[in-house]
Amino acid sequence: MRSGCGATTRADLPPGVPSGPFGPRLRAILAMFAGSYRLAKRPIQQLVSDLFGLDVSLGMISKLERRAAEVLEPVIGEVAAAIVAAPSAYIDETSWTEANAKAWLWVGQTDELTLFTIADNRGADVARSIPGTDKAKVAISDRFPSYDWIEQHQYCWSHLRRDFQAMIDRQDEGSAVGSDLLGASNRLFPCGTSTGTGRWPGARSWATPGRSAGASGRHLTGVHPAPARRRRRPAGACWRARSTCGPSSKCGTSSR
C-alpha cells in the first residue's frame, strides 16, 4: 500500500504462503515434471509456457526443484519409518543413471506407501536399510543374493510364475515340472482370497508344511541347489505371506 507521503507499506504474508512469484501448486507441478516424468529443464520450461503462459527461467526451475525436495524431506522420513515399522514390505531394485553415472533405483513398498531411493550399489547394506532388520518382518522380493539375509523371506510369486512358464516353454524334461508348479500356484491364489481378516485360511491349509500331495511337495523342496550360506528349503520362502492378505505375496507393482 502506498500512502499519501509516498511511503510503501507491505503486509506480512499469511502463514504457509511461500514468498516469490510462484505458488505451491506450480512448484508441485514442476517437481512432478522433473521427478515423476523425468523431464529435463528445457521441456519443463516449454510445458509451463504452453500450459500456463508463464515464462520461467531454467535457473528458477532448478531452484524450485531444490525447494520442493527440502519441503518433502520430513515426509520422506516419515514414509521410510512407516515402511520399516510395517509387518510386511516389498523391496526391489533396478539399474539407474544419476549424474551420468551408473546407480541403482530401490523401491520399498507396502499396500499404502511407496518409497524410492537412489543408491550407488545394489548390495545388502542398502537392502537392509529399506525394510529394516526385524526378524519377524515378512519381506517380499526376488531371489537376488542381496536379500539372502532376510529371515521371513517371501519369494515374489510374479517372478516364480515366470520361471515356471519358462520351464514349460523350454519343451524338455523340465516342462512337466513347470506345468505342475504353475498349476499349483493357480490353485493357491484363488483359495487365498482375502476374507477381510487379513489372513489366508485356504492357503494355510493348502500349503501346510510336510504335505505330501501336490506339486509343492514334489518339486519345490529341491529347487536350484544353493551355496552353503543360502542352504535352506526354497519351499519355505514361498509361503511366508500366507498369514497376510493375498496381494502381498506378489511384488509386480514394485517391479514396475
The span from the CA of 3 to the CA of 149, in Å, is 71
Same domain? For 159 and 68 the reply is no
Give a yes or no: residue 228 inside a domain: yes
**Is the pTM above the cut of 0.85?**
no
Same domain? For 76 and 190 the reply is no
Same domain? For 247 and 140 the reply is yes
Q: How many domains does the chain have?
A: 2
Neighbours of 6 (CB within 10 A): 6
Q: Where among 81, 115, 148 does a domain terminate? A: 81
The span from the CA of 23 to the CA of 28, in Å, is 9
Give a yes or no: residue 58 inside a domain: yes
199 is in which domain, residue-wise? 131-255
Q: What is the pLDDT of residue 4?
A: 74
Same domain? For 55 and 149 the reply is no
pLDDT for 64-82, tens place per residue? 999 989 989 999 999 999 9
pLDDT (mean) for 105-130? 95
Residue 1 binned pLDDT confidence (cut-offs 50, 70, 90): low
The span from the CA of 212 to the CA of 235, in Å, is 13
pLDDT for 175-205, tens place per residue? 999 999 999 888 877 654 443 444 444 444 4
Give a yes or no: residue 89 inside a domain: no
pLDDT for 145-183, tens place per residue? 999 999 999 998 888 899 999 999 999 999 999 999 999
Residue 253 binned pLDDT confidence (cut-offs 50, 70, 90): low
